[in-house]
Structures are given as structure tokens and as C-alpha cells.
Amino acid sequence: MTPLPSKTARTAPPDADSHDADSHDPRSPAPDDPQAPHAPHSPAPDGPATTHASHAAAGATAATRPVLSVRDVRIGHPAGDREIVHGVSFDLTPGKALGIVGESGSGKTLTCRAALGILPPPFEVTAGTVEIDGTPIAELTPRQWTELRGTTISAVFQDPASYLNPSLRVGAQIAEVLRVKKGLTRREARARSVELLRSVRLRDPELVHGQYPYELSGGMLQRVLIAAAIAAGPRILIADEATTALDVTVQAEILDLLEDLRERTGLALVVVSHDLAVVAQLCDEVLVMRGGEVVEQGPTSQVLHNPQHPYTRLLIAEHEQYGLDRFLAPEEAA
């Protein structure tokens, strides 16, 4: 929209032929008279440059504001008054990927379930805070949680078959998410679910839409689960051991898919794995856990090239045989 002219802009004079050149009122100061009073200067309204700068600043702030913030979260077990997770902290911004790596029982899955508000009883958050898009989850009501899951934060877990109803076609299960979360009609939900299946790189989305879970391979099921997880357009996706049960080739395809989703949509990713090579391929930052504690944390390249903790060095040594060395190779000079 064209900005309004400044209040100080001069009004164009009428046609010179309609005025007598000698009809100047002597009581009025001459135009060039230094004693002539001047109208006070009014600042010009914000022009396009200022508006664009404001929008750019707002966009930059939104891009750097954490969508998920975990602060000194501690998780305990009432039996024996035990603390299982000891003070985990991290921030996740849009379009970034955080890897949480560690052995089984290190507390990485419990940390993510705490962020999702689905800690299995009797585990409970005993201290610290979790904020999703600036809102402390401790303040959320059950209804608010229901609205938040799927639309702001979503998750994909290991063993996708256990998260799909075996008696319903996979397309119908994705369509249900769209109808509940997005309010689409039955026809709109069907069309959109086919688009989602295509977006996760299934070769024949129309065919897959009408199939049951038992008719699909493990890799196809994981793609279906990812399609369902992103159906309502969440800002955060937690992938908890999402590639563990897959063979190496399919695992690489799923990792490429997650990277593509992140680049196209600005999705923020939390990738949980015991495999450091998976985290090395996908994540900007890595958090290494052992025994419920964060033993090392930082940019992925820094942690992999210069590990400080003996456990991190052990993980790197054990994973070199799986191809981690190609991520550690120094970059060639441009």
C-alpha cells in the first residue's frame, strides 16, 4: 500500500493563469522574507523502508526465539525417592536440530516425554521448567495439552506399527488427525492425507492410502507415522529412536526425509538416538547423556572433533566403524 504523504509536503499551486502576479497581500510576509514564520516540522510517517526493517527485525526475533526451552529439568521416581534425570537444559529454535545421544537408560527418552507431557507414571518432573513456544507446560490444562499436541509439538517413536491401529487403513488414520486438528471435511482430509503421503516420499501414495498397516514394510510404516505427526503443521518434532529398527538403507532415507522437512518447513527437530552417526548426519547441536546426566553439550562439529568427556570419546571410537569418520573428516578448503 502506498504510504500517505507527509503532512509537511507542499500542496501544488493552482494554475498560474488564475492568479494575478501583483495581487500579493501586503499584510502577508513575502515568501523570501526571513521574518516569515515557519510551520512547525512534523516528522514524516514511517515509510516502506522503516516498515520493512520492523518486519525483518520481528522475523529475526521469531527465528531466534526458542520454540522449546528446557531448564534444569529433573525427573524422579517416588519409590526410594530416586532422581533419574539430573538437571537437563537446552534451547531449540525454528529450523534447528538437536541430537540427544546416549546409551539405554541414560534418560534421553524420559527427558523428551517430559517435554511432551507424557511421562509414564510414577515418574514425575521434580524440578526445572519446560516451555513450549514461551508457555510453561506446568500451567497447561488437559484441554490445552490436547490442543497443543500435534499442532505445536509432535513425536515419532520407535516401532511405528505399535502406534497405528491395525484395523484401520493408514490413510483414514491420517485423515482423522486432519479432521480433528484442522477441521477439514472428509473429502478435504482424504486429499490432504494423500498429499502428506506423497511428501514423505512414498512411491504410490494413492495405493498406500488404502492399505492396512500389516501390508506395509517397517520403513513405509515409519513414513506413514511421520506423515501423521506433521499433518497438523507442528513447529517441533521429536524423533525418538525413529530409525533404530530400520535397515541401514531405509535409515538413511528417513534421515534425508527429516532433513528435507526441516529445510522446507522450518520444523525444529529433537533427534533421540544411541547412534552418534545418526546425530552427526542430521543435527546442529548434540547433547550427550549418561546415567541421567548431561556429560557433554555443544555444536555437533565441536563435540565430534574435540570431545572433552571420556564417554563421548568412547562413543566416537565405537561408531567409527559405522561411517562416522566421514563426518569427522576435515572440510576441504574452498
Instruction: Please spell the DSSP secondary structure of 247-284, one letter per residue.
Output: -HHHHHHHHHHHHHHHHHH--EEEEEES-HHHHHHH-S
- pLDDT value of position 126: 93
Q: What is the pLDDT of residues 124-179, one digit of tens each?
A: 999 999 999 999 999 999 999 999 999 999 999 988 889 999 999 999 999 999 99
In which band, very low, low, confident or very high, does the pLDDT at 109 lie, cut at 50, 70 and 90?
Answer: very high
- pTM exceeds cut of 0.85: no
State the Cα–Cα distance between residues 301 and 324, nearest whole angstrom. 12
Q: What is the pLDDT of residues 21-80, one digit of tens each?
A: 444 444 444 444 444 444 444 444 455 555 554 544 545 566 689 999 999 999 998 886
In which band, very low, low, confident or very high, does the pLDDT at 274 lie, cut at 50, 70 and 90?
Answer: confident
Q: What is the pLDDT of residues 164-204, one digit of tens each?
A: 999 999 999 999 999 999 999 999 999 999 999 999 999 99
- pLDDT value of position 35: 45
The CATH class of 85-152+238-327 is alpha beta
Could you tell me what percentage of the chain is helix, strand and coil, using 3-state DSSP and rounding each to the nearest 5? 40, 20, 35
Give the mean pLDDT of the chain.
82
Domain map (residue ranges) of the chain = 85-152+238-327, 162-233
DSSP character at residue 118? -
- Tell me how far CA of residue 131 lies from CA of 65, 85, 117, 137, 299, in angstroms: 12, 18, 11, 6, 22
Q: Is residue 302 a contact partner of residue 296, using CB atoms and an 8 Å limit? A: no
Q: What is the pLDDT of residues 195-229, one digit of tens each?
A: 999 999 999 999 999 999 999 999 999 999 999 99
State the Cα–Cα distance between residues 149 and 160, nearest whole angstrom. 18
Long-range contacts of 232-235 (CB under 8 A, 24+ apart): 232/150, 232/151, 232/154, 232/177, 232/178, 232/181, 232/182, 233/151, 233/265, 234/150, 234/151, 234/152, 234/153, 234/154, 234/267, 235/67, 235/94, 235/133, 235/152, 235/153, 235/266, 235/267, 235/268
Residue 332 grid cell: 576441504
For residue 157, the cross-strand partners are: 240
Around Cβ 80, how many Cβ atoms within 10 Å? 6
- pLDDT value of position 37: 46
- pLDDT value of position 323: 56
Residue 261 grid cell: 522437512
